[in-house]
Amino acid sequence: MFHEESFYGYLSLERRFSPHTLTAYRGDLQNFIAHCTEQQCLTSATEVRHLHIRTWIIALMQEGQSARSIIRRLSCLKTYFRFLKKRGLLERDPMQKVVAPKMGKRLPVFVQEPQMAALFTHVGFGEDYRGKLHRLVLELLYATGIRRSEASQLKISDIDFSRSVLHITGKGKKERFAPIARYLVDLLEDFIGIRHNTFPATAEPWLLLNRKGERLSPESIYHIVHEHLSAVTTVEQRSPHVLRHSFATHLSNHGADLNAIKELLGHSNLAATQIYMHNSIERLIKVYEQAHPKGKEAED
């Protein structure tokens, strides 16, 4: 037995993982269990040894999986085997002898400021409910740096119009507050008005509703962002997380304190936020090379 259903329940009820993370962990564990049963002829988690996990890693690499993807999958296994040991279902943790593949640093992908400005000034969204919804989704993600799952879970009651503050429930039910600029307050008030006219009888508390009057899913938010970013940028990734990266990078470029960015993003530690400093440093290096006499000499 692999006790996978008990593990999923633990992640959901005790660890309070988001639906998106739960789906990823479920896929990772199912892939590993399939490898164990089909390739290694194992029938229980107690039979798994570190060599079985290493063989799985090699198989993933042969499939073309990136080091980043494999490390994410191994993170699932670490949590899984710790859970089994904690429940007394396993005596030894096979992950202790497993070495993850090394991964080079990858800077976050973001959209340049002129392209973001073009998105909101030159792209026509329309004045109907769909157009207002699409624009608000993009404005919210870029102006606050929230995740798509957090945007999907926003309620009208989470908006404090008197203080111009948004209440956000993040990963692990952690709560934080994000300031919202005057223009976004106006957009929110306008959207809530057209939302009421479009769905006058709805009792749904969610801010963002789809055309059926139901909560807008994280998947729908992804498709909205991908559609409209394609009109202004050629970056390969056009996901809601790119807008989150853009939010943080642009704040860093304009001198925002790293600790403040950390709080706005809802990061649990500063190390996760420091990647945005690299983009700022790269920008400063280019400015130096272009403008400083010694910098120009270095290029000659």
| Residue 155 DSSP symbol | B
Is 212 buried (19+), middle (13-18) or exposed (0-12) by CB count in 10 A? exposed
Whole-angstrom distance, CA of residue 256 vs CA of residue 30:
42
Rg (CA), the chain: 23
CB 251 within 8 A of CB 130: no
Whole-angstrom distance, CA of residue 270 vs CA of residue 258:
8
Q: Which residues are known catalytic residues?
A: 147, 171, 241, 244, 267, 276
Whole-angstrom distance, CA of residue 176 vs CA of residue 173:
10
Is 67 buried (19+), middle (13-18) or exposed (0-12) by CB count in 10 A? middle
Instruction: Tell me the HSE value of 202 on the side-chain side, using a 13 A CA sphere.
Output: 21
- Starting at the edge strand found earlier in the chain, the sheet holding 175-179 runs 159-160, 165-169, 175-179
Instruction: Tell me the HSE value of 57 on the side-chain side, using a 13 A CA sphere.
Output: 19
